[in-house]
Structures are given as structure tokens and as C-alpha cells.
Amino acid sequence: MLPPAEKRFLWVNKITIISLFVLILAGGVVRSTGSGMGCPDWPKCFDRLVPPTAASQLPEGYEEKYIAGRQKKNERFAKMLERFGNKELAERIRNDESILQHEPFNAAKTWTEYINRLVGAITGFLLLLCAIFSFTFFKTKKSIFIWSVINVIAVGYQAWLGSIVVSTNLMPWIITVHMLLALVIVGISIYTYFKARSLRDKDLLINHTSGGIKVLAAFSLFLIIVQVAVGTGVREEIDLISASSSMPDRSEWLEQVGQVFDVHRSLAVVSAIVIVLLFFVVRSRFAPSSYQSKFTNLLLLLMVLQFVTAALLAYVDIPPFAQTAHLVLASLLFGNQYYLMLLLGKVAWK
């Protein structure tokens, strides 16, 4: 029987993990619909807690106001980059005129971005609750408390990075960092959840050595992370192509991407082979009812679904819904593989 304080932490942590994946889904919808600049300011939207639904509700002279604020924020960001020795990137931000271009008001895009921010605020509050409730493990498993606090700091940085995404008018590499940091936050939440559960639930623990299988699981996780990073590179190229003045037909976008897409596709095949191999190894060593087998089954299912969305992107002219599904499935693959690696890496001797 779990103590009430530990049960409360596990419940909030589980809800937080779900909320993080919902947030990634919301972010994917924002990006695939081009709604990232639906709210030109941050954290409010058109200087309102609840955004407008019609152009008549927009504040007077908002374009000049937000562009001026964006310039100031970008200058501060450029100075920070210079302090870290990245003068070239700082100058690129200062001289990029597209950053100061303002998009016309679109109520659908505004509310799409607003819902994304609302989910982000709820998720941030849940992470804060996790940190507060994790204090119950301060004496028994201090790492749970430490990582929960680190996650709150990380989500605070993520919120700041979100404001930079807005102020730089969706600069591609910042969006990529924003996505990768989201996976880090997901990973920390999964880690603290596993550590808290494994304190009491001994069914999670394996009672034999598994050296080779642990290495295989870690390699599979590494490939998934690399795939996400390379995939964001593909998405950046597609965003640049779609925004170009001489934009080709949507069916030709992937042909314009270049070598990064070939790398992404080749790595997908390698990753799939490793996942299938991991599936058969786990199923040969663990009972079908074990957590290890169940999460390996789910991993294989997610991989198949990911290939379905990849086929849609490649052969059905990159439909926006498939872009979002591909992103969400990639994050679920990461989360599932990471939790499976934790399950395979915990050894308990009877």
C-alpha cells in the first residue's frame, strides 16, 4: 500500500506526462497550421488574457508596438549570444528583416496558438506541483526531489525560449531547440515517475543481469533522439521552402529538401531494425505479461504507425495532419523507449 503522499506524487506526475504529450500535440498543430505568430506578443495575446475573435477587437497601433518590443527583446537575445561567443548568429538576428514582418490577424490561428499556450501554462503548473509533492522523497530518494526541481527550472527556461520563438518570428533553429528541450522535460518526468514507482512496486524490477539487452535499448533510444534531431532539420528545410517566394508545388517539397532527408530516411530504417531486434530479444527473456514485454509491444506498434505517417508525408504531398502525427509519434517513441530502458536497467537480486 502506497503512502498517501507518494500516491499523490505519482498521480500528479502521471497527469503531467500526459499533459506534456498533449502540449507537444498542440505545438505540432500550431506549426502545421502556421499559427505560430497567431499571438504576436507573449505571454499575453494581443495584450489580452483572452484573445480577440475579430479584427475590431485589436488594440490600436498594435503592429508598431509589438514590432518595437520584438526589436528590444531580440537585441537582448543577440547580446546574450555574443557573450557566449556566437557573434555571427547575433548579427544574423539583428539583420534579419523577416523577423520584424507582421502577419495579418487571423482569428483561427490566434486561438490555435492561444490554446497551445494555455496547455503550456497548465503543464507548467503541474510540473510545479510535482516539485512540491516530490519533497516527500527528500529522505528516501533525494534524486526524485532534485530532478523534479530541475524540471521546473527547465520548463521556466522553455517558457522564456517560447517568448524568443515569438520575438524572432519563428526562427527555425530556435523552434528546434524548443522541441528538443520539450523531450528533455518529458524524459525527466518519466525518470522521476519510474524512480517513485520502483521504490514500492517490485514488479517493475528485473532480477537477472541483462548487459547486452540494456546496451541494445540504450542504442535504440540514441537512434530515436538522433532521428528527432535530424527530423527537425528536415522540417526546417520544408518551412523555408514553403515560405520562399518561388514556392514549388507541395508535391515537390521533399525533392527540394536535399541530403538531410536522405539521412533521415536511412536512419529510420536502421532504427526500425534495432527496434524489431529489441522486440524479439525482450520477448524471449520476459513473460508476455511483464512490463518489459508490454512496453516493447507498444514500441513496435508506435514504430509501425510512425512509418505509416512517414509514407503519407512522402507520397501524399505532406498533409499537415500527418506532419503533426509524425511529430507526436516521434515523441511517444522517445518516451516509450526511455521508460523501457529504465525497466531493463533496474536490477534487483532476490
Indicate if 225 and 181 belong to the same structural domain.
no
Calpha distance 214→211 (Å, rounded) = 5
Residue 233 belongs to what domain range? 201-350
pLDDT at 314: 81
Boundary of a domain, candidates 200, 225, 243: 200
3-state SS, residue 46: coil
Total structural domains within the chain? 2
The tens-digit pLDDT sequence of the chain (350 residues) is 678 899 999 999 999 999 999 999 998 888 778 777 788 777 788 888 888 888 888 888 777 777 777 777 777 778 887 887 777 777 777 777 666 667 788 889 999 989 988 999 999 999 999 999 999 999 889 999 999 999 999 998 888 777 776 666 556 667 778 788 899 999 999 999 999 998 887 777 665 556 688 889 999 999 999 998 888 878 777 777 766 655 556 666 666 777 888 888 899 999 999 999 999 999 888 888 888 899 999 999 999 999 999 999 888 877 888 888 999 999 999 999 999 999 887 654 43
pLDDT at 349: 41
Indicate if 220 and 81 belong to the same structural domain.
no
Indicate if 180 and 247 belong to the same structural domain.
no
pLDDT at 148: 96
Calpha distance 76→180 (Å, rounded) = 23
Indicate if 16 and 148 belong to the same structural domain.
yes
Boundary of a domain, candidates 162, 181, 200: 200
pLDDT at 350: 39
Boundary of a domain, candidates 200, 229, 255: 200
pLDDT at 100: 66
Indicate if 311 and 234 belong to the same structural domain.
yes
Indicate if 225 and 167 belong to the same structural domain.
no
pLDDT at 166: 62
Indicate if 140 and 206 belong to the same structural domain.
no
Indicate if 181 and 193 belong to the same structural domain.
yes
All cell numbers assigned to 27: 505545438
Cβ atoms of 102 and 63 within 8 Å: the answer is yes
CATH of the domain at 281: 1.20.120
Indicate if 176 and 233 belong to the same structural domain.
no
Indicate if 94 and 225 belong to the same structural domain.
no
Indicate if 92 and 218 belong to the same structural domain.
no
Indicate if 189 and 76 belong to the same structural domain.
yes
pLDDT at 8: 94
